[in-house]
Every structure is written in structure tokens, then in C-alpha cells.
Structure 1
Amino acid sequence: METPQDIAGQISTALSAHGLILRGGFNFNDDESAPLGPLGAPARSVLLIGQAGSAPWPHFLRWRESQPAGLKNPLDTWSRQIIGEVAEEFGARAASPSDKPYLPFQQWAMRAEGLKPSPLGILMHPQYGLWHAYRGALLFETDLAIPPPEIPIHLCDLCVGKPCLKACPVGAHSEAGFAHEACLSHVRRPDGALCRDGGCLNRNACPYGTEYRYPADEQAFHMAAFVGL
């Protein structure tokens, strides 16, 4: 009989072919409202799927070559396709951060991996820094033997200078929050080319996890999607 560890290992193997990884998970409490599982009953457990660094990027680019040039939300489409296939193989329901009504992916991630937000809002990972993402989740209608996460050191607490709050030319991030419109306006202007072509300067200023930093073309892709270019 297969154990939950066997299934997790098989899921990890299936995901690794596309540069994706399992990002922890948990069992829902009896008294919380859980999303529906694959057969329509409330889910009992969830496994998060995501990336560390740019591992999925070449897989996505190869897939994109075979898609229509004007395809909207291509990364979301690719993620849904891959995670949907894995969900079908292992009897789960696939969920996406873009599903509506929105599911609490950031809260799930904090619960699954014990992470906390950075001053930029992105969760700080002890190994990957700010260079990671969650692409989807697998929902099951059975409990899984998922050990609780080891709570990592929150690296932002050790960072005295907070360079992530000082690199942006329009001061879009501060202790007061994110100045969304100021960021959009700057990136869309000619003098926003550095951000537009190479990614968020504040994010790139973070000293942690730099070996996992996304390449410039991937950062430009995400920035274009963010500002609607």
C-alpha cells in the first residue's frame, strides 16, 4: 500500500519534469471552511506547488513557442495545464491563485512553510529569499500525513539597512505600504526602462537568495504582466 510519503514523492517527480516543486501543505481543521475537493466534498488537505528560482522558466518558454502569439496570461495557462495534469493523475483537484473567488494562497503558504512577508509583501524564504512563487495547489478529500513546518528565521528581522525600501526611484514601497499607482506610472514612462527591462529594483536590492534571482527576461515578463504592457 502506498503511503502519503510515497504519493508526495511521486508528485514531486511529476512536477520536477517541469521545474516545479512541492511547497508544503497541511490538513484543514474540522471547524474551518475548506474549498471543495475533486469529488465535490470539502477538501481535507492541500499541497502547495510552486517554484524556487527560475527553474520552470525554460520549460515555460519551450511550451510558449507552440502557443498562439496573442495568448493571454500564458504563464497562468501553462501552470494550470501542468498542475491540472498532475491533479488528475493523483486524484486531486487543482487550484490556482487566479481562481475566483480568490483562495487565500498567501495565508496557505505561510501556514505550510512558516514564512512571513517581507517589507515588499513577498514572503521571505530562508533559502530562496524573494525569488520564489506559488503556482497552484492540489486539494484532496482525505487527510495526509503532513508534518508541521519548521519555523525558519525571518531574515528580514536580521536586515538592518532594509535596502529593499531604498532602491525604488519613486519610493513605491515603505512601511506605510505599496504605492501601486506611483509604481505603475513610473514603469510605464520612458525613465522606467530600468525597472521595466530588469525587474523591480527594490526586489533586486534584497541581499538574500541572490543565487535564485530570476534572469532579466523573466523579470521583464513579470513586470510587463504587472503593469499591463
Structure 2
Amino acid sequence: MTLDERLATHGLFVMGGLHPGTGGSLLLIGMDSTGWAAFTAAPEASDGGPDPLDRFSKRVIGGLAEALGGTAQFPSDGPPYLPFIAWALESGAFWQSPVGMMVHARAGLMISLRGALLLPERVALPPVPAGSPCEACADQPCRTTCPVDALGGPEGYNVSACKDFLASAAGSGCYEGGCLARRVCPVSEGFGRTQAQSAFHMRAFFPK
């Protein structure tokens, strides 16, 4: 079974990768559109313990790393936190979107990086797209859909405005269905993330 096939059984896929100057390969592992179903069927989802998605990711990706003779690293470990955003942008498979969040050719703005596989050998990396999907997106609806204009301003992401809106009755749609700017991205719309998954991530970002 190939690495891609093994990842797919857990709803994961290689979102990008690079060959570090130190040698070997670094593969960025993210959740695919089938990942939520794989996670909710896993023991971590129902055992009542903290951080169930992080524990699921560490068990699965850590197990794969051990089987392949490599190591695993995770964005949830820290501080200090590992440079996952820098790795993603360096891979050439991610770009900064017009509203500041990273965008991916397959996932759009629905990026969920769950970990990285560090392998001792140089392996083939996923093909790098020619350019950001935002370049061909004439309307760029992510720029105008946020109800409180919390994204893409000159000061960057206005966290307080976003959280204040999520705490209000008017913000229930974003809180239960996920960030509107992410959802209107044409690439995101075709990625198949469920509302339950978006709500899970929103509750982790802003627990009420």
C-alpha cells in the first residue's frame, strides 16, 4: 500500500512538501473531504478526552512516521511552535489569499494541516500548481462576504471584531456553519467540508 493509500484510509492526504536543505523530505499532511468521517469514527472522537482531533492526528501520523522510519511533527506542539505556515508557503502548494488566510489549490480556504512527516529519504513530491487559484477568481467573494469586515484590512485580521460577532445572535450562522469567507471561496465550495467539521473548528477557535 502506498503512502497516499494509507493516508486516504484515515481521510488524510499530502497537501504539499519540500526537500529541506538538511536532506530527506518533509510532507505536509492535511485532512481531506473524507477526513471528518474518519475522525468521528475513531476512538478519540468519543472518549471524552481533551483535544480529540489533535490526538487522532498524532496517533495516525505518528504511527505512519514510525512505520516509514521517519518522524512526525505537529502544529499543535508548542510553544515554541514549528513553522508550518512557512513550510506550507515554501512548498509552492499554498498561497496567501486576498483576505490573508492561506489558500490551497484543492482545499481552497478549508485548510486543516494535521501534521508533517519527516522522512530520511528524498521522495517524489506532489506536483506544484502553476499558480494560486485566486489569480483566476475574478469576483474574489472572500473579500466582501465577512459581515464585520474582519478580514483583509490594512491592519490584517481583526480578531476582536470577529469574536464579538461570533458571540452575538447575528453571528450564529458563522459560529455554527463556519467562517463565511472560507465558505464562499469557489474552491472551498467543491472541497466537501461538512458543517459539523466547520462548527467543531469554530468552537475550538472561540469556545463560548
Q: TM-score range by the shorter chain?
A: 0.7 to 0.9
SS of alignment partner, residue 72 of structure 1: coil
Q: What are the Cα deviations for residues 29-69 of structure 1, in whole angstroms up to 9, with x where unaligned?
A: 15xxxxxxxxxxxx7431221123x2110111111576433
Correspondence for 1:217 among 173, 181, 196: 196
Pairing of 1:1-229 with structure 2 (within 5 A): 10-30=2-22, 44-52=24-32, 54-64=33-43, 67-69=46-48, 71-100=49-78, 101-140=80-119, 142-147=120-125, 149-176=127-154, 177-229=156-208
Gaps of 5+ in 1: 1-8, 31-42
Residues 11 and 208 from structure 1, CA distance in 2 versus in 1: closer, same or farther, beyond 3 angstroms? closer
8 Å CA contact 1:170, 1:186 repeated in 2? yes
Amino acid in structure 2 at the alignment position of 1:216: Q
Amino acid in structure 2 at the alignment position of 1:137: A
Distance 2:93 2:191 in 1: 20
Q: Which has the larger radius of gyration?
A: 1
Distance 2:44 2:54 in 1: 15
Distance 1:114 1:13 in 2: 20
Match of 1:40 in 2: none
8 Å CA contact 1:22, 1:50 repeated in 2? yes
Residue 98 of structure 1, CA deviation: 1.1
Residue 147 of structure 1, CA deviation: 5.0
- Count of residue pairs the alignment pairs up: 206
Distance 2:53 2:45 in 1: 13
Distance 2:160 2:40 in 1: 30
TM-score when scaled to structure 1?
0.80
Distance 1:148 1:18 in 2: 19
Distance 1:151 1:21 in 2: 16
Q: What are the Cα deviations for residues 70-94 of structure 1, in whole angstroms up to 9, with x where unaligned?
A: x222111111111111111111111
TM-score when scaled to structure 2?
0.88
Identity of matched residues, %: 36
SS of alignment partner, residue 212 of structure 1: coil
SS of alignment partner, residue 59 of structure 2: helix
SS of alignment partner, residue 132 of structure 1: coil
Q: Alignment RMSD, CA only?
A: 2.2
8 Å CA contact 1:114, 1:150 repeated in 2? yes
Residues 216 and 67 from structure 1, CA distance in 2 versus in 1: closer, same or farther, beyond 3 angstroms? closer
